[in-house]
Chain A
Amino acid sequence: MDVSILAINLVNGFLWGIILGFAAVGLTLLWGVMKVVNLAQGEAILMGSYVAIVLFSQYGISPLIGGLVALLVGLAAGFLIYWALLHKLVGKVEKITLKIEMSTLLAMFALSIALLNFYYYIFGSEPRGFGLWSIGLPFIRVLGTTIRTNILLADALALISVTIVYLFLDRTILGKSIRAVMQDAQAASLVGINPVKIKLLTTVLGIGLTVFSGFMVLLFEASVTPEIAYKYAPLGFVVVVLGGLGSVVGSLVAGIIIGIIYGLSKVVVSIFNPRISDPVALSTAFIVLILILLFKPEGIFGRKR
């Protein structure tokens, strides 16, 4: 086997994994704090991609600014989603039971149906992207392989964002109250943390970050179709479960692990049959999911429940 092929696949898997990990940060926050599984995860990601695309292709606004606008749109979307859907279901509830969990699941599911078909209606199923746009050279050569600069930009942005989110949760009072609610909502309200406020903040932050990650996904993939939702949402669940609910660092690490497993299995399978390497490599991620759920359901960085 050619060593360089292995190296290329591992590097690509690693670079993709960072994006996967960041895309799941919002998901892990929502799930960890509010027990809300965002089944509209893929659609939220697409929202960020499409905001940047529309600004770029319709108004000629630089994708860098478009990405920032995507973040703002995402925060606003989080605000709307909380008050329109989630508040009625989880807002005033102290302990989130399995039944409430199911209702939120179905509510987010309804949102995903509406949003996904909205994208199909507006944008159709053709791939859309920034065309040839890039900062500086479109490609750079690293260790004998070429990598698109947009991918490196996406990874850099993702890593910076994860660091900021981590510092926010770790150092600020608001961030600490989010973590307090995550650990024990009742105890948190006893020490004067307003749970509704924290749930609203978590939704705004969670959806905002997910929408923002759509910009990175677009940079990485070069173009998106609504179909992308079916790829990133399920992988997001894998990442969250592997990383541990509510763990930002866990999410990033799990993303990278999944990316590398993908790269590795692709190489291994292509030794036997190159044509089927991609689907088999993707299926390994889900086999990992089921194994983790069965044997270490709290994930790598999660606490035992």
Chain B
Amino acid sequence: MTGKESTLSHYLKSPTLIVIVFVVLGILIARILGMSTLDTLMTIMYFMGIALSLNIIMGFAGYVSFGHAVFLGLGGYAYVLLVYFVKPLAQLQNMGFGLGAFLVAVLAGLFAAVIAASVGAAVLRLRGAFFAIATIGLDFTALYLMKAIVPELNPEQFFGAQIILPADKIVEKDVVFNAMFLTLIILLAVNYYIRKSPFGVGLTAIKEDEDAAEVLGVPTTMFKIIAFTLAGFFAGMVGALFSLNGGGVDETLFNLGHSIDMIVMIVIGGLGTVLGPVVGSLIYFELYDLLLVHYPGVNLIILGIIVAIVVLFFPEGLIGLLRKYKVKGVRLRDLLE
């Protein structure tokens, strides 16, 4: 992977990129032709978005964060509070067919990123389960603080931590779609770039053996903080647009259930790859839908069992499994990233 070789034609040979482009075009075509409802597409993009955002820290750097939903929540609250109290932003979000909403979501994402960077500088010193537990702690701290702060901001309008956006501050759903679509494309590109870049190689080194990576000159602390900040930023953006789509926000956005979704998708798809979360989120969405339709009530029980089976018997996930095989003499390991 020398710099000179990485021209456009080089990238086009990569099936990973083709799958990504295919997925993006697929969503776009389904939207234009009306093959699927807007809500379905939003849900798919939301799933893919949260999986890809956590992937930056969990997939590449190997830091499992059980409290990643905290950034979803922070982004959601930041967005809703911004458009609720700042008039120009409420006007901005309706402009440019989603570009305005995208820009406000960037602000919300930046808020989440600032929290991620400052907290990350501290908690990323922890490893393994301690890190996972610390992020759960962060999630609950943020949850309880929101429960305490939000009702005080506007006691007459905000019931508990729930904020419902008034009609004049809501954006039409197809505009939100555009903003989410744009976010997803950027998120895919960032994931792909990280995978290809020296930064990504450094993160992988951290995942394999952090001490060895440090000795070999990888600036581990800085890399981890950057990865965590990026993960927080994008989770914040997705959380913001998800809330906007729902017309408001409440404390359920901090639920560990959202962290569960992200982790399960990455684990099913395959840790440490770009394709893993993409494929994983598509499978997860189908599975979720299928189980919900056929086995309402017990769907999540079955899901838990499936995850246990994947963890015990296919710990590398679907893409990890495929990477072990050869097709026509070509090792899939070299193709699937």
Contacts and interface: CB of A to CB of B under 8 A. Distances in A.
Our verdict on whether A and B bind, yes or no, reads yes
Interface of A: 31, 35, 37, 39, 85, 88-89, 98, 101-103, 105-107, 109-118, 120-121, 230, 234, 237-238, 241, 273, 275-276, 279-280, 282-283, 286-287, 289-290, 293-294, 297
B49 interface: no
B130 interface: yes
A286 B137 contact: yes
15 contacts: A101-B129, A107-B308, A107-B311, A114-B305, A117-B299, A230-B255, A234-B136, A234-B140, A241-B133, A280-B148, A289-B137, A290-B138, A293-B123, A293-B126, A293-B137
A81 to B, nearest CB: 11
A101 B128 contact: yes
Contact of B134 (A37, A89, A115, A293): A293
Contact of B300 (A117, A230, A294): A117
Interface string B145-160: 1011101100000000
Contact of A294 (B125, B144, B304): B125
Contacts of A234: 136-137, 140
Nearest to A238: B137
B260 A109 contact: yes
B315 interface: yes
Interface string B239-278: 0000000000000000110001001100100000000000
Question: 8 closest A-B pairs (Cβ-Cβ)?
Answer: A114-B304, A113-B304, A283-B144, A117-B300, A276-B148, A110-B308, A110-B307, A279-B147
Contacts of B213: none
B62 interface: yes
Interface in B63-81: 64, 66
A230 B133 contact: no
B4 to A, nearest CB: 36
A136 to B, nearest CB: 36
B67 to A, nearest CB: 9
> Interface majority SS on B: helix, strand, loop or mixed?
helix
Given A279-B148, A290-B138, A98 B127 contact: yes
B122 A37 contact: no
Contacts of A109: 66, 260, 263, 307
Contacts of B134: 289-290, 293
Nearest to A237: B133
Contacts of B62: 98, 102
A282 B140 contact: yes
Contact of A286 (B122, B138, B312): B138
Residue from A102, A118, A275 having most chain B Cβ neighbours under 10 A: A102
B194 interface: no
A232 B234 CA distance: 30
Nearest to B129: A37
Contact of A290 (B127, B141, B144, B303): B141
A85 B136 CA distance: 23
A113 B129 contact: no
Interface in B300-325: 300-305, 307-308, 311-312, 315
Contacts of A31: 129
Contacts of A85: 308, 312
Contacts of B133: 37, 237, 241, 289, 293
Contacts of B128: 98, 101-102
A276 B143 CA distance: 12
Residue from B140, B147, B263, B297 having most chain A Cβ neighbours under 10 A: B140
